[in-house]
């Protein structure tokens, strides 16, 4: 986790200073930076805000509540094993790279369950067939990123599906709740000094929020929030 934070910090420092080369960025500097992350990327954002509170002006975090321990149960349903044994396209990867090997288990962790719906099963199938990998080192340092960013004073917008089993799992299943009593609202405790903490909880939406029917509405909410922040 600390490695990712340092890499992101160096990129943002370069963007603000105008020292990034390539991609048409030569000589261009930016005085505003928006960080958008999903799931592990949201945890990286949390860690960045805690470590370098002045790096980012606004965070847009998806698939996030700061609570991940119970989410390990549905995540494990996909049975992650060395990626090289799952699909031939991973055959050259070291054993430290993992991929989920059970499609129904992956769906259970990343989509809605109990016939809630909200997604196209063919999309979930395509997602499994084209999944990426996760490194053991990433999993081992996952929880180091979930810490209060006490000195971060920018704004935060969180989008997390109501049925997100990874960040809202509980004894009775996946339920992030609604409104001010939701687990998403409670995540404001990780950004106690933020100038604004807002959130959106789309219904019929699991952890892979961008692959659910609600995605377009979530994108609009994110853009509307950024516009309201003056971007």
> 106 lies in a domain?
no
pLDDT at 70: 76
> 30 lies in a domain?
yes
Closest CA to 88 of 79, 80, 99: 99
Whether the model pTM is above 0.85: yes
> 57 lies in a domain?
yes
Q: What is the pLDDT of residues 80-98, one digit of tens each?
A: 899 999 999 999 999 999 9
Rounded to whole angstroms, the Cα distance separating 58 from 195 reads: 10
> 119 lies in a domain?
no
> 190 lies in a domain?
yes
E-only strand ranges, the chain: 34-38, 58-62, 80-82, 97-100, 134-135, 155-159, 169-170, 173-174, 196-200
pLDDT at 138: 85
CA 50 to chain centre: 16
> 204 lies in a domain?
yes
pLDDT at 66: 86
* CATH at residue 206: 3.40.50.1820
pLDDT at 90: 96
Please tell me whether residue 36 adopts helix, strand or coil conformation.
strand
pLDDT at 76: 86
pLDDT at 140: 82
Give every residue of the chain whose pLDDT is below 50, as ranges.
none
Q: Total structural domains in the chain? A: 1
> 128 lies in a domain?
no
pLDDT at 2: 87
- List the domain range (segments joined by +) for residue 209: 2-71+142-228
């Amino acid at each position: 986790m600390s490695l990712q934070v340092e890499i992101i910090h160096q990129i943002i420092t370069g963007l603000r200073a105008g020292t990034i080369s390539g991609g048409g960025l030569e000589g261009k500097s930016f005085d505003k930076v928006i960080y958008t992350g999903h799931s592990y990327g949201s945890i990286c954002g949390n860690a960045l805000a805690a470590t370098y509170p002045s790096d980012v002006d606004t965070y847009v975090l998806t698939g996030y509540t700061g609570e991940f321990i119970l989410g390990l149960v549905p995540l494990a349903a996909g049975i992650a094993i060395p990626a090289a044994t799952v699909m031939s396209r991973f055959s050259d990867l070291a054993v430290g790279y993992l991929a989920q090997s059970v499609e129904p288990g992956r769906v259970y962790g990343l989509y809605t369950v109990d016939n809630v719906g909200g997604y196209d099963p063919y999309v979930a199938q395509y997602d499994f067939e084209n999944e990426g990998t996760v490194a053991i080192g990433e999993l081992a340092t996952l929880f180091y990123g979930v810490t209060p960013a006490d000195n971060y004073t920018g704004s935060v917008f969180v989008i997390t599906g109501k049925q997100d089993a990874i960040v809202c799992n509980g004894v009775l299943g996946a339920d992030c709740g609604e409104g001010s009593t939701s687990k998403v609202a409670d995540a404001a405790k990780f950004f106690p000094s933020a100038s604004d903490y807002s959130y959106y909880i789309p219904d019929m939406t699991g952890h892979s929020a961008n692959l659910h029917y609600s995605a377009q509405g979530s994108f609009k909410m994110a853009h509307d929030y950024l516009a309201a922040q003056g971007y």
